[in-house]
Every structure is written in C-alpha cells, then in structure tokens.
Amino acid sequence: MTDQTIVSYRIEHDTMGEVRVPSNRFWGAQTQRSLENFPIGIETMPREIIRAFGILKKAAALANLRLGTLDQDRATRIAAICDRILAGELDGEFPLSVWQTGSGTQSNMNANEVIAGMANRQGGAVIHPNDHVNRSQSSNDTFPTAMHIAAVTGIETRLLPALERMIGTLRDKEREHEGILKSGRTHLMDATPIAFSQEISAWRSMLEHDRDMICATLPPLRELALGGTAVGTGINAPKEFGALAAEEISALTGTKFVSADNKFHSLTSKDALVFSHGAFKALAADLMKIANDVRWLASGPRCGLGEIAIPENEPGSSIMPGKVNPTQCEAVTMIAVQVMGNDVSVGMAASQGNFQLNVFMPVLIYNYLQSLTLLADGMESFRLRCLSGMTAKREAMQSNLDRSLMLATALNPHVGYENAARVVKTAYAENITLKQAAAKLGIMDEETFDRCIDPKNMI
C-alpha cells in the first residue's frame, strides 16, 4: 500500500462562483482556476516577473497611500508581503503557466491574491485582492509594467555586468598577445598578415558596440504603462498615480523609471521590447562569430589550424581516448541560435496587438528573459572557462605566416598585380617560396624581395 499525502482544501470564491483551493496555499480562486484551466507545458511565469510584481505592487500601495486612496495599515501590510516576494520566500505561491491568458491577467491576480491572502491571515482590516492590492491598477497596465521592470533590472544587474567582464578579459588578452604576428584569413582562405592582438581587438570592439546598442534600448524600457489601467484612459486611477508609482518603483529598484506619456501606446505596443531584443540578437550574432573563430583557431591538435590553445575542461569523447573538444564555444553557439529563434517569437508576439491591448505578453517576456539569462550566463561561462585561459601558439602562427602566399600582396606596388599573381601561382604550383618564385621568373631579385616583404610592415 502506497502512502498518499492528504491535501485539505478551503473554499474561495470569485465572481464566477466557488473554487476549492489547497489549504496550505495563499492564492485564491482566480489563481486556482488558471492552474486548472491551463495545464500546458512546463514553462511557468519567470521569477523575474514575479519579483517585478512584488516591486510594482509595493510601489502601487505606497503611491495610493500618498494619494490618500489607501490607508496606512493596509499599505504597510501589502508592502511587507511584497518584501517577502522580493526575497524569494514565496516563489511556491506562483505556479502559473506561461501559456495562459495573453494579457497576463491571471498572473496579476496571482500576485493580488497571494498578497491579500497572506496579509489577511496575519489579522487586521480585510485586504481585498482587487479593491486594495490592485487599487488604481489593471492587469492591462501592470503586466506591461512588470515586463519593463524585469527587462531593465535584468539588463543592468545581469547582462551588462557580464558583458563588461568579457570585454575586460578580451582587453587583457590584447595586451598579453601584443606583437605576435599571424596570417589573416578571409573566405576561410589565407590573407595578408595581422597581429593576433588586432584579431582580438575586433572581438572586443564587437562587444563594446553591442553594449552600446543594448544601453540605447534602455530609455524606452524605462517608460511604464502603470496608470493607464484598462485601455489607457486611466479609469479608476487618480491622475497622479502613474507618476507617483514610477517614483516609488525607481526608489525600490535604484534605477530610473518614468510614467509613459502615452498610455494607449504603452498598453498595445511592445516595440520597446522588440528593439531591446534586437540588440540581444546583435550580441548573439557577435558571440557566434567569436566562438566560431576561437574553435577554428584552436582546432587540432594536429590536423587543424592549432594557432591557439584553450583550456581542456573535460574529456570530449566516449570512444576516442584523449580527445578534448571546444565545448564552451559550442555552448555559446547554441545560445546564439536560441536567442535568434527567440527574436522571431518576440517580434511575432509584438506584432499581434489588437486595438487597445497586446495579448501575447507572457510568451514575449518569457522568450525575452530567457535570452537575457542565457546571454549573461553564457558569456560568463565562456569568459571564465575558455577566454581567460586562451593563449597563442606562437610557433604555429609563425609557421603559417611564413608559408602564406598572400605575403605577395606587398609586391603589388613594386611589380604590379599581375606579376605578383604570377609569383604566387608559380610558388604554389612548384611548392617553392615566394622569394624563389620571384627570382626564377626574373621579376625581383632576392635582396629586393627581402626589402619589400616584411610582415611587420604589413599590419
């Protein structure tokens, strides 16, 4: 006989009637209905959105207190429960699926019900989830507000710091490899010389540009829909509520937020998140390029380019002994693919606003925050476990440079493009050096050749 946990229930009600809710949970009828009506997938509302709701519900209570639309006792008790949400103590009270109503109404009510339910069990004047916790608000302006709070705080506390650390590591690697020359490559073919530090500088500059583009997306994300309520008119909210709530949110997060000038726009359009995720996609594209460069340069150890060494973190094969693979590069490139796919979902979701409301918001923010998290975590792992230990194999770089036929490019000003091409083709066909080919063809003597061909003068 198998032991079964006995779950007791209490009866909650909403405008549609009574609902059984587990007695050990603080949520109410609307949360329970959503839990039962959307048993879809395993994706639950991101924790970042739950934290954002904790911030905005506390800010709303404090703004309502300042406006005289909520009493001190209720505002204090609501704020205290929100602090527990922010501390992560109540994560188990937010079980709802991403695949719910497209406005996120049920997640807004989840927050309202949990805050009211916990506060009421502590005694004092009754706190109603709609009348008090949701005062001066609508799901239609709270969910977009939570999205923007989660986006801005995620960018500032997770993504940008990880990006800056990776930029710093690459800057260190530039200095470390100053003065090392190697063959450049275009079209995967030999090209004119380049310094390895210059090659690294391209990677660093990519990330610096990505950082600047991401930062450029922050101002639109700082605009909050709160105060627009149902359709943007602000019905049932004091005129000053949006601005005061934005002030409180700024104080709670330590970063600037403002009340959106046009709430009709902020409810129905998700253009700020599309713009921001586009910068994420740019970062993903650059990370794909950097990771591919690194694994190409590290390929081998004997049959590849073998121009750099990267850390050997784990065995690479279950059958080939001693094999080690560029796994950190592979993780980053998979992340890049995921972010690029997410960008399609974000753009499609944002395009589906009808009239006064977009109803694809949960899937949009789920994909957006997944991209943010993957990029931040992926860069940190790649930096610590690959880039930090990357070193040049100087002998391999020098050997490839010495054998490069594209050194003949420096002959162009002296003998012309066609004669230089004859030198290259002869050297390749007869497997001799460029110098030998130039002398054999009578195009240039060896002494003059040595003066013209100096890789240090070609970078």
Task: Provide the 3-class DSSP secondary structure of residue 283.
Answer: helix
In DSSP terms, 11 is beta-bridged to 20
Q: Three-class SS string for 131-147?
A: HHHCCCCCHHHHHHHHH
Burial 21-42 (b: 16+ CB within 10 A, else e): beeebbbbbbbbbbbeeeeeee
The residue assigned the tokens 């009340």 is 259
Say how many CA atoms lie within 13 Å of 384 toward its Cβ: 7
The CA-based angle 210-152-350, given to 5 degrees, is: 85
> What is each CA distance from 118 to 26, 111, 123, in whole angstroms?
6, 11, 9
Q: Are strands 258-259 and 308-309 parallel, antiparallel or unpaired?
A: unpaired
227, 234 contact by CB (below 8 A): yes
Q: Which residue among 317, 345, 351, 399 is the active-site one? A: 317
Instruction: DSSP letter for 126, please.
Output: -
135, 69 contact by CB (below 8 A): yes
Q: Report how far residue 5's alpha carbon sits from residue 335's, in angstroms, rounded to the nearest whole number.
A: 40
In DSSP terms, 12 is beta-bridged to 19
Beta strands in 131-241 (DSSP E): 181-186, 189-195, 223-224
436, 425 contact by CB (below 8 A): no
Residue 187 annotated in active site: yes
User: Which helix (H) or strand (E) element contains residue 285?
Assistant: helix 271-297
455, 401 contact by CB (below 8 A): yes
Task: Provide the 3-class DSSP secondary structure of residue 358.
Answer: coil
Q: DSSP alpha helices (H): ranges in 217-270?
A: 218-221, 241-253, 263-268
What percent of the residues of the chain are helix, what percent strand, and what percent coil, each to the nearest 5? 60, 10, 30
53, 93 contact by CB (below 8 A): no
Q: Report how far residue 284's alpha carbon sits from residue 207's, in angstroms, rounded to the nearest whole number.
A: 10
Q: Which residue among 8, 23, 187, 318 is the active-site one? A: 187
Active site residues: 187, 317
